[in-house]
Amino acid sequence: MKFATKLIHAGIHPDPETGAIMTPIYQTSTYVQKSPGNHKGYEYSRTHNPTRTQLQNNLAAIECGKWALCFSSGMGAIDSIIKLLNPGDEIIASNDLYGGTYRIFTKIFEKFNLKFHFTDLSKTDNLNKLINSNTKMVWIETPTNPMLNISDIEALTAICKKNNIISVVDNTFASPYLQNPLLLGADLVMHSATKYINGHSDVVMGAVIGNDDSLHEKLAFIQNSCGAVPGPQDCFLVLRGLKTLHVRMERHCFNGKRIAEFLKTHPKVDKVYYPGFETHNNHEIAKKQMKDFGGMVSFTLKNDSVENAHRFLSATKLFSLAESLGGVESLCGHPATMTHASIPREERIKSGLLDSLIRLSSGIEDCDDLISDINYALNNS
């Protein structure tokens, strides 16, 4: 099956009882057993729920994996993945990470004696320099948030394999439509399904997909023990959102490209970060591992200040100022004071995240309207 067909059909069956074409919302916490242990694979909804099972089967298919697990949020998924490790283990991660990922690593897990090293993984050689006998996991985010750096998944995961290290790719920004890290050698793919996968800004959810049965068993055990599971209503909404992922992504990519090109020509704009530009330092890798370049665009202003960025963000009318991304409506954000406020200023300036950096999540509105909105806000800031 091709991607578009999988989105709509893979792992999804009409309800055996009624023929309902849409997966029912099994709003139940428990399941009746004929005699102790005599059940149809469902005992309690923290462990399994049929609405969740169909969503997991669909996600596994579209990420080209054997299995998927859905979590109550992207952070819930990350939390469970890190719990695969033991005190003393070391993790190497991209230095340009989602703010919440950086926070859980440094503020929660360092306390449990896990050691995190942050480096620029868009340069593959940097990985080799940090590997030692305690390195047990490599955490790759590509494209990164918000700098849209690109890391070479195939090259990095090959190094992990050679050193017996678990490789994880946070694929939230790309979505399974643009890239499938498991096909490039990753052990685990993680998503904030809150973003493109659901796509309608009405659910918070996470997912992990993989091929390795022993990792599946361990993660399912951690999930069932710790409890970060999504409810059946949310699983239904994500199943519904997923059916249009390919159509939405085509428009997100189209709008993202035109917006990036427009920004590049505007006199008030300094740098534009977009992996589709030939001048992007890893454009060739993006072209190789991604189907298109996505709907995310970041840029800085020539007059680099927090106040100036805030003026832009208050002047847009179609781009709503909000955290999050990947929904049908366009959003704008200011990483320095919003998503990345927990990263020390020197740290973020080092990775290019300047005071005026603005991140746009292009929605699927008409592109001409979006560009006029940006133009108006730039001229009024």
Question: 102 an active-site residue?
Answer: no
Nearest distance from residue 15's CB to ligand PLP, in Å?
Answer: 29
For residue 330 the two structure tokens come to: 């366009």
Cis before residue 146, ω within 30 degrees of 0? yes
User: Does residue 100 belong to the site contacting ligand PLP (CB under 6 A)?
Assistant: yes
- Applying CB under 6 A, the span of 1-9, 72-80, 126-134, 245-253 interacting with ligand PLP comes to 72-80
Span near ligand PLP by CB under 6 A; candidates 51-59, 170-178, 209-217, 237-245: 170-178
3-state secondary structure of 47: coil
Instruction: Give me the least distance between CB of 269 and ligand PLP, in Å please.
Output: 24
Return d(Cα 282, Cα 140) in angstroms, integer.
15
In the complex, least distance from residue 298 CB atom to ligand PLP, rounded to whole angstroms? 13
Residue 170 binds ligand PLP, judged by CB under 6 A: yes
Piece of the chain touching ligand PLP by CB under 6 A; list 104-112, 113-121, 192-200, 270-278: 192-200
The DSSP symbol for 170 reads E
Tokens of 208: 């992990």
Respond yes or no on whether the N-terminal peptide bond of residue 344 is cis (omega within 30° of 0). no
Structure tokens at 203: 């659910």
From 26, 98, 273, 274, active-site residue: 98
Angle, helix 50-62 to helix 232-242, in steps of 10 degrees: 30
Q: Which residue is nearest to ligand PLP (CB)?
A: 74
Residue 351 within binding range of ligand PLP, rule CB under 6 A: no
Per the residue annotation, which of 170, 234, 355, 373 is the catalytic one? 170
Is 251 annotated as catalytic?
no
Q: Quote the CA–CA distance of 257 and 253 in Å, as a whole number.
A: 6
Q: How far is the CB of 281 from ligand PLP (least distance, A)?
A: 20
Q: How far is the CB of 21 from ligand PLP (least distance, A)?
A: 28
Q: How far is CA 109 from the centre of its chain?
A: 20
In whole angstroms, how far apart are CA 221 and each of 26, 88, 188, 296, 324? Answer: 22, 22, 16, 35, 29
In the set 54, 142, 172, 316, which binds ligand PLP (CB under 6 A)?
Answer: 172
75 binds ligand PLP (CB under 6 A): yes
Q: Binders of ligand PLP among 125-154, rule CB under 6 A? A: 141, 145
The Cα–Cα gap between 226 and 79 comes to: 10
- For ligand PLP, the binding residue among 45, 53, 194, 316 (CB under 6 A) is 194
Task: Determine the interface stretch with ligand PLP among 96-104, 243-251, 263-271, 299-307 (rule: CB under 6 A).
Answer: 96-104
Query: Of residues 195, 248, 348, 359, which has the active-site annotation?
Result: 195
Determine which helix (DSSP H) or strand (DSSP E) holds 58, and give its type and residue range: helix 50-62
Distance CA 157, CA 153 (A): 6
In the complex with ligand PLP, the residue whose CB is nearer, 204 or 269, is: 204
Q: Give me the least distance between CB of 221 and ligand PLP, in Å please.
A: 21
Q: Which among 91, 65, 236, 59 has a CA at the least distance from the CA of 160? A: 91
User: According to CB under 6 A, which residues from 196 to 215 bind ligand PLP?
Assistant: 204, 206
User: Do 241 and 96 touch, CB atoms closer than 8 A?
Assistant: no
Contacts with 105 (C-beta within 8 Å, 6 or more apart), sequence order? 82, 91, 93, 97, 114, 116
Binding site for ligand PLP (CB under 6 A): 73-75, 98, 100-101, 141, 145, 170, 172-173, 192, 194-195, 204, 206
Residues annotated as catalytic (active site), given as ranges? 46, 98, 170, 195
